[in-house]
Amino acid sequence: MVQIRPVDPADADVFTTLAIANREFLAPFEPDRAESFYTPAGQLSRIESALADPHVHRCAIEADGEVVGMISLSVIEYGPAQSANLGYWVAEAANGRGIASKATALMVELAFGAFGLHRVQAGTRLDNVASQKVLARNGFERIGVARSYLRVAGDWHDHVLFQRINDEWKPA
């Protein structure tokens, strides 16, 4: 069973353990991280920062009651855009079980439901086929390639951009 829930300061230790265990696995997809990122204080700071930011909604991904990753809506924008960016990762040991796909479905449901958004965007490196499949399974459409989109693993990388539109969106 997969579920998502808002991150909590009490999660700092589990996210520290996951960050250390998955450091090499996630390195090709993540920005360069300071050593403090791999400490309980660094994870606590990251969690508290997200909790204080109204433009970020970060959730723990749980599979069978165990935290196995994180999923976030960021750059949440209301007004004419009604949109957000989606990002996620799942620990290497939990990969290949449909967890990211289910967590993405749950986050999109939240984005279009409780958050009342019209559009969710996500980007993946060109070679991240697994993540592209997660997005496709969740009804995201490919909208193009952004050159030098994000600095990841020390270099600028092109990304495939995807979007999902809430066709049933109506203003409140």
Please give the Cα distance from 109 to 86 (Å, whole number): 12
Which residues sit opposite 61 in a β-bridge? Answer: 4, 69
pLDDT 10s digits, 41-63: 999 999 999 999 999 999 999 99
Give the contacts of 118 (CB within 8 A, at least 6 positions apart): 81, 82, 83, 165, 166, 169
Count helices and strands (H / E) in the chain. 5, 7
Q: How long a stretch of residues is the chain?
A: 172
CB atoms within 10 A of CB 165: 16
Please give the model's pTM, rounded to 2 decimal places: 0.93
For 7-134, list the strands marked E by DSSP: 57-63, 66-77, 83-90, 119-125
**What average pLDDT does this structure show over 131-157?**
94
Q: Indicate the domain borders of the chain.
A: 2-121
Query: Does domain 2-121 correspond to CATH entry 3.40.630.30?
Result: yes
Q: Is 113 left (phi over 0), alpha (psi -120 to 50) or beta?
A: alpha
pLDDT band at 73; cut points 50, 70, 90: very high
Sign of CA dihedral 38, 40, 44, 45: negative
pLDDT band at 119; cut points 50, 70, 90: very high
Q: Is the pLDDT of residue 138 over 80?
A: yes
